[in-house]
Copies of this chain bind each other. A is one copy, B any other.
Amino acid sequence: MNRKEKVTAEIKFKKGKFARGEKNSITDINGVKAGHFTVNKDVQEASGEKTSIRTGLTAILPYQMDKEMRLFTGMFMLRGKNEITGYEVMDDFCYLNSPLVITNSFNVGRVYNAIISYGFSLSRVEIWPPFVISFNDSYLNDMRKSLMDEKEILNAFHNASSGKVEEGSVGAGLGLRAFGWKGGIGTSSRILYLGHKQFRCGVLVASNYGNQSSLEKPETESNSTRNGDGSLIIIVGVDIPLAPYQIKQIIRSLVSSLHSVNILNNCLDSISCILFSTANPMSMEKEGPSIYEFELTDDSLLAEIILAGTEATREAIFNSLLKATPVEGRLGRKIETIPDNEFKKLLKECGGVYGRKN
């Protein structure tokens, strides 16, 4: 019995409304792959002082990337302080044809270039625009020293797998902290039925927020950068046929349903949520049809999708905490895994595992 099972057994987790997918991972969505690249090393500065690199990237490949196709997608940001490339195309044209990569803000340019190279290497006409979502991990990581090479980044794409995603202090998650404890990558999935047909909703989060919420643990030491405020990044994949306007409604409601996120973070941190649907992929080839045949879910079923997404997102956030391992980073700072009793307090504060009455 792992720690999470132990904790959840002790606190008598109530069952949610929806069953988990096989891997309880965003990779339960057919065709979706994920990969990490972790940079964990100490380096000597020119001044002779030692500093710590504790960072990485986490990539979601939403479909077989050598195909010329695009998926409907959408994004909602609350207090949008994360740099996100590709956003304006997503906003106007509502499609995604790039890997989704989470990394720290000083690697945005590097990853951006690597995605373009990746597209060329696949003999595709192009991958455009590259989709990079960034955070600030400067509390543990020396961001100025932690620039990644293109080769390292491409490896993460090539090694991405459809297996269960590794969670905690890995990839983009290495340098993150949440609620004053070690944060990182978490994932979860749910199975739902719409009109007797089975669908899946998978979520991957990077938890890097809530550190200034607790009055007992004031943030005394200034971060090195002004955008030191935290962030929660949520990537949702579904195989449900959705139009872009429905995607927008779902993610706005999903973000607004995360009590743990919004109250506990004291309204200082930014939240970014992206949803893509693998149903209804569109060809990007010139010889594509003029009029496509599509499926579309009736609006009356959106509430069910929002609820499944909320359950999966909450569990993914908790997983990011429970699976994280302690990390010691720059300036000798050490962040511990959340202890069981603190986790139980957190759960109580934020309305239980599923955030609703069972």
Contact = CB atoms under 8 A, between A and B. Distances in A.
Interface in A100-146: 105-106, 108-113, 116, 120, 125-126, 128-130, 144
Interface in A271-328: 271, 282, 284, 288-299, 301-303, 306-307, 310
Interface stretch (A1-9, A21-29, A58-66, A253-261): A253-261
A78 B252 contact: yes
A106 B110 contact: no
A84 B109 CA distance: 12
Interface stretch (A34-42, A46-54, A239-247): A239-247
A85 interface: yes
Nearest to A144: B120
Nearest to A244: B245
A268 interface: yes
A130 B84 CA distance: 11
Contact of A303 (B110, B113, B225, B268): B268
12 contacts: A80-B88, A80-B93, A85-B85, A85-B108, A126-B227, A194-B290, A197-B290, A259-B350, A267-B306, A268-B303, A293-B296, A294-B294
A306 to B, nearest CB: 4
A222 to B, nearest CB: 8
Given A303-B267, A307-B267, A83 B79 contact: no
